[in-house]
Amino acid sequence: MKTSTNTIRFWVLLAALLLGGGIINVWERAGEAHVSRKALKDFPAQVGSWRQTGDDVRFDAETEKVLRADDYLSRNFISGGRTASLYVGYYATQRNGATYHSPLNCLPGSGWVMGDPARILITP
């Protein structure tokens, strides 16, 4: 009796592993969804009372190499005497080591200091 129970468990486990492997294989070969989107440089220069000050900030080649973003936007905005820096990075894929960098870890690790990390409500 015990031998037949073990045999059944073996075949159920083997079937589950083969099915799971097959699903993962199909998912891997399917690739990622491609999203149609506008370039980040097309982001508006004014959002609500916040307006862009200066040109878009471009990083040096070494920083871009580390960042590995497919597209990014870095701008400074001003409103009512307050300034805010906006950074948006776009990654077409999250595979092959090209993943986002959290500002909470990446910026302080590069020597940046967040003077006033707060939420700002922007109304159009």
Predicted local confidence at residue 10, as pLDDT: 92
CA distance 101 to 67: 8
Asked if residue 115 belongs to a domain, the reply is no
- How many Cβ atoms from other residues are within 10 Å of residue 50's Cβ? 21
Q: What's the domain count of the chain?
A: 2
Predicted local confidence at residue 59, as pLDDT: 92
Contacts of the segment 65-69: beta carbons below 8 A, 24+ positions apart: 67/101, 68/97, 68/98
Asked if residue 95 belongs to a domain, the reply is yes
pTM above 0.85, yes or no: no
**Domain co-membership, 44 together with 105:** yes
**Domain co-membership, 49 together with 101:** yes
CA distance 85 to 56: 11
pLDDT digits (tens, 9 = 90+) for 73-118: 999 999 999 888 898 988 887 766 555 666 666 666 666 777 777 7
Asked if residue 92 belongs to a domain, the reply is yes
**Domain co-membership, 51 together with 98:** yes
**Domain co-membership, 19 together with 55:** no
Asked if residue 59 belongs to a domain, the reply is yes
Longest distance between any two alpha carbons in the chain, whole Å? 81
Q: Residue 121: is its pLDDT beyond 60?
A: yes
Predicted local confidence at residue 14, as pLDDT: 93
CA distance 120 to 44: 17
Asked if residue 90 belongs to a domain, the reply is yes
- How many Cβ atoms from other residues are within 10 Å of residue 77's Cβ? 21
Predicted local confidence at residue 29, as pLDDT: 75
**Domain co-membership, 45 together with 105:** yes
Residue span of the structural domain in which 45 resides: 40-109
pLDDT digits (tens, 9 = 90+) for 13-62: 999 999 999 988 887 777 777 788 999 999 999 999 999 999 999 999 99
Predicted local confidence at residue 65, as pLDDT: 87
